[in-house]
Amino acid sequence: MMVENIVPHIPVMLDEVIVNLAPKAGETYIDCTFGAGGYSRKILATSNCKLYAIDQDPSVIGYANELTQEYSLERFTFINQNFANLVNIAKENNLNHVDGIVFDLGISSMQVDQAERGFSFNKEAKLDMRMSQTGLDAWEVVNTYSEEDLADIIYYYGEETFSRRIAKNIVHNRKLNPINTTIELAKIIQSSVKRKGKIDPATKTFQAIRIYVNDELKVLKKTLIAAYNLLKLDGKLVIVSFQGLEDRIIKDFIQLNPNLRAKASKPSLAEIRSNPRSRSAKLRTIIKKDLNILLDEARSNI
């Protein structure tokens, strides 16, 4: 069942994703970050293809059930797992080679808007931030990790220059009382950071803790390799990322694989105006090519 009173996630760069993926009838695709199903619905509507959708968040099952009823299991299959399990998911579903794979690496607006999930520093809730709603949560990190470990997490995953000051103040405050809620943590961070601007001082620290809790960067590195191996020749990875650490991993992956072609694009000004959450998005399309063909093309250009 879908959560009530939550505005569904608006898929970022939807038209660009579909243009770059170019789904065709009879082909097979994977949406690794199903969310509210925006990309999946458009892919299914664009061509008579087969689509597998993956999402670890149990709260999206209602959206998946809607698409199953609309398109049947012959065309749409939903898997409620972390896309880190892509290799096993492919084996379980007899997927040897697919024509395209889509990733939206951003946190969905549904997760942010569900206060009880603890992702937002603007909404009062217990510290959580678990996309799968299982395992290590943000409360445990904030209240039990050492000052040094907290500072390292905030600096590395949030690229926060005030990481040591924030960590010191977190440890000082939790000695008085446990830091139980998002608002409590946000106030500590805001009092620690002497920085003005449109972006809230708590943004980078909340990002860092969320990335750490969900092991997002390690999962991305692992899954890019698995996704690449699943692609047919000329198959496409279409990836929408939202922060520099993710994009750096994607660029490194491209540079380390000589039999890839890639191009990047950003959202239009019109989309940014209508959906401000898209402003930091970057879309990269990676095409798997035969290395010999690429070498022949390079020689012909000499």
Of the CATH numbers 3.30.360.10, 3.90.1150.200, 3.40.50.150, 3.40.50.261, which one belongs to the domain with range 14-104+217-300?
A: 3.40.50.150
* pLDDT at res. 296: 53
With H, G, I as helix, E, B as strand and everything else as coil, classify residue 104.
Answer: strand
Give the closest residue to 100 by CA, choosing from 226, 232, 234, 236: 236
Q: Which long-range contacts (CB under 8 A, 24 or more apart) does 69-73 make?
A: 70/44, 71/44
Domain 115-214, CATH 3.30.70.260 — does that match? no
Domain range summary for the chain, segments of one domain joined by +: 14-104+217-300, 115-214
What's the pLDDT tens digit per position in 277-287? 889 999 999 99
Q: Which residues of the chain have pLDDT under 70?
A: 1-9, 108-122, 291-302
pLDDT score, position 259: 80
Cβ neighbors of 209 (< 8 A, separation 6 or more) are: 129, 138, 141, 142, 153, 154, 157, 158
**DSSP character at residue 59:** G
pLDDT value of residue 10: 79
- pLDDT value at position 298? 44
Find the largest Cα–Cα distance for the chain: 70
